[in-house]
């Protein structure tokens, strides 16, 4: 089996004076391997089960796929409020499956030269196919895969190229899985959801109380703490995203560190410290949830946002 690695397009490209790029062959494998696993992702148990079934098991059972003359590959589109672990989950999937992780970064792709962005998208997928088994992650896919009726004709051409590259029927994407992520699924061209492209669309909600407890534990790990009442903090952080919880812990740690430098006395982080800082923060998911309510109510004829609607009804 090939050695997995984390790579981006720029690792494999040489830019000339006109910003044209060529794939460099034979570059040494990178040292950085996908080390994030489900251990680093607090909560999200249902989601972990879903991706285990749809992505990790097919990666791990390639022989069975061959036996039944099936091609492993395909795509899952994750959507939800910012900071709730879509990127983290994607990295963890690559780590769990022990496959290469390729991040399609939009600034690396976009070029002012005609036809160049399309060429880069194609080259990126070529590298991912050479590195198969690999997991391609496309964050903010709404930016590269916007509805073609709403963008300029040059952008629509790029969307068409992306559609072709991710399509298992037109491109040989055997053992290349594609995970897309977006905060704005309503902006993504519906052609991405056709069979062979993103066959599954999955809502990644803000963490529930158990998940918040698990996320707190992960981010407090190795800090100087004493008997933190995780349950209490988890209850106080309703609608906080994982990133909000990380920021909360970061603020408390910073204040303890400054205090230690000022006084010369070593500090211990307590439940009270966390309670004090929670009160100064607002969850960043609220704005997104308000916006999403309209789409779940008025643009859900196809049932696309059923998971989102169920979540909104439950809160």
Which residue ranges make up the site for ligand ATP (CB under 6 A)? 41-44, 82-88, 139, 181, 183, 207, 215, 218, 242-243, 246
Distance (Å, whole) CA 141 – CA 305: 17
Beta-carbon neighbour count of residue 193 at 10 Å?
A: 17
Give the shortest CB-193-to-ligand ATP separation in angstroms: 19
Residues in the chain: 315
Residue sitting closest to ligand ATP (CB): 242
Min dist CB 149 to ligand ATP, Å, is: 24
Pick 82 or 115: Cβ nearer ligand ATP: 82
CA neighbours closer than 13 Å in the CB half-sphere of residue 132: 18
User: Quick one: which of 20, 9, 15 has its CA closest to 116?
Assistant: 20
Q: For residues 34 and 42, which CB has a smaller minimum distance to ligand ATP in the complex?
A: 42
Q: Nearest 10 degrees: CA dihedral of 274, 276, 281, 282?
A: 90
Q: Which two tokens stand for residue 274?
A: 């966390």
d(Cα 141, Cα 180) in Å, to the nearest integer?
6
CB of 249 to ligand ATP, least distance (A): 10
Q: Please say which residue, 73 or 242, places its beta carbon nearer to ligand ATP.
A: 242
Cβ at position 241, least distance to ligand ATP in Å = 6
| Distance of closest approach, residue 78 Cβ to ligand ATP, in angstroms | 8
Q: Residue 84 or 136: which CB sits closer to ligand ATP? A: 84
Pick between residue 168 and residue 206 the one whose CB is nearest to ligand ATP: 206
Radius of gyration for the chain, computed over Cα atoms and rounded to the nearest angstrom: 21
């Amino acid at each position: 089996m090939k050695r997995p690695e984390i790579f981006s397009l720029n690792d494999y490209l040489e830019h000339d004076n006109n910003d044209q790029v060529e794939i460099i062959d034979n570059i040494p494998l990178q040292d950085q391997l996908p080390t994030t696993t489900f251990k680093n992702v607090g909560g999200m148990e249902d989601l972990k089960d879903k991706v285990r079934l749809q992505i990790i098991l097919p990666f791990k059972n390639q022989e069975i796929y061959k036996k039944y003359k099936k091609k492993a590959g395909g795509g899952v589109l994750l959507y939800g409020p910012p900071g709730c672990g879509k990127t983290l989950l994607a990295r963890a999937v690559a780590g769990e499956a022990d496959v290469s992780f390729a991040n399609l970064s939009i600034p690396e792709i976009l070029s002012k030269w005609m036809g160049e962005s399309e060429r880069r998208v194609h080259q990126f997928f070529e590298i991912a196919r050479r590195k198969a088994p690999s997991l391609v992650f496309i964050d903010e896919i709404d930016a590269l895969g916007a509805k073609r009726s709403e963008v300029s004709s040059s952008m629509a051409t790029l969307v068409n190229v992306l559609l072709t590259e991710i399509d298992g029927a037109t491109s040989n994407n055997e053992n290349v899985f594609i995970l897309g992520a977006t905060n704005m699924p309503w902006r993504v061209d519906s052609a991405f959801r056709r069979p062979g492209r993103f066959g599954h669309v999955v809502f990644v909600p803000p963490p529930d109380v158990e998940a918040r407890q698990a996320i707190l534990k992960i981010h407090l790990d190795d800090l100087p703490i004493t008997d933190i009442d995780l349950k209490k903090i988890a209850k106080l952080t309703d609608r906080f995203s994982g990133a909000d919880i990380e920021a909360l812990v970061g603020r408390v740690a910073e204040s303890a560190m400054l205090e230690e430098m000022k006084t010369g006395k070593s500090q211990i982080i307590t439940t009270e410290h966390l309670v004090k800082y929670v009160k100064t923060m607002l969850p960043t998911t609220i704005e997104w949830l308000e916006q999403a309510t309209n789409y779940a109510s008025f643009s859900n004829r196809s049932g696309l946002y059923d998971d989102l609607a169920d979540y909104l009804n439950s809160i």
